[in-house]
Structure 1
């Protein structure tokens, strides 16, 4: 399970790097991409912002591999609390994405994607990190 969670986080990091370099998927252009994945505004975040998110996702993706002794062979159980630190913003993002006050600020396409993909993914990842932290 730790490998799967790490691969998800690494894939999300690659997606942010792709966006930082001008990639538009799943949109057709920058504005449709902004509407679908950012939810508001008319300017997509900068390459630096995309790289910062990618770096955070890579670091977060490595944590389960460390705590489950997949990297470096030694179990880093003393650092399992890192999992809780990662779970907190993921859970806040996931649950907060369903709040009507927050949804009013987003485009309709983003709200739909958020309800079907983004918030459930964040909550699932948060629960996975909590599971790793409890081991």
Structure 2
């Protein structure tokens, strides 16, 4: 489970870091990228520092499963793992809410969020819960 979470969250961290460095991948332009991954009507991506801040937070979350191993019974480690799971679950659930849908209407973000981004966040949240369950069984 740790390997899957590290790869799954780490890949998203790398994407955010690439965007912070000015990459428009996987789109052809900054405007197309903003429409694909932000979806609130802006024509430009968030500032580089914000992309890097998200990348740093995601990188820490990607490495967290390796810190957890053998320490899950420590209250801070257990709470941290549930907090990470909660962050991903909250983002996944929020993406299906009426309020979210009313605010993030720009395509292709709206469709990609419904089909990919929100379900992926839910999957990651469940992955962190499974990590806790697996470690508690040891």
Structure 1 distance, partners of 2:129, 2:80, is: 10
Cα deviations by residue, 1:48-106 (Å, 9 ceiling, x for unpaired): 101100110111111111212xxxxxx12211321101011111110110112211222
Q: CA RMSD in A?
A: 1.2
How many angstroms does 1:133 deviate by? 2.5
Residue 72 (structure 1) aligns with:
none
Structure 1 distance, partners of 2:26, 2:102, is: 22
Structure 2 distance, partners of 1:21, 1:59, is: 19
Residue 59 (structure 1) aligns with:
60
Answering whether residue 46 of structure 2 is matched by residue 45 of structure 1, we say yes
- SS of the equivalent of 2:103 reads coil
How many angstroms does 1:5 deviate by? 0.7
Residue 6 (structure 1) aligns with:
6
Gaps of 5+ in 2: none
Residue 71 (structure 1) aligns with:
none
Gaps of 5+ in 1: 69-74
Residue 90 (structure 2) aligns with:
92
Moved over 6 A (4+): none
Aligned length in residues = 129
Residue 109 (structure 2) aligns with:
110
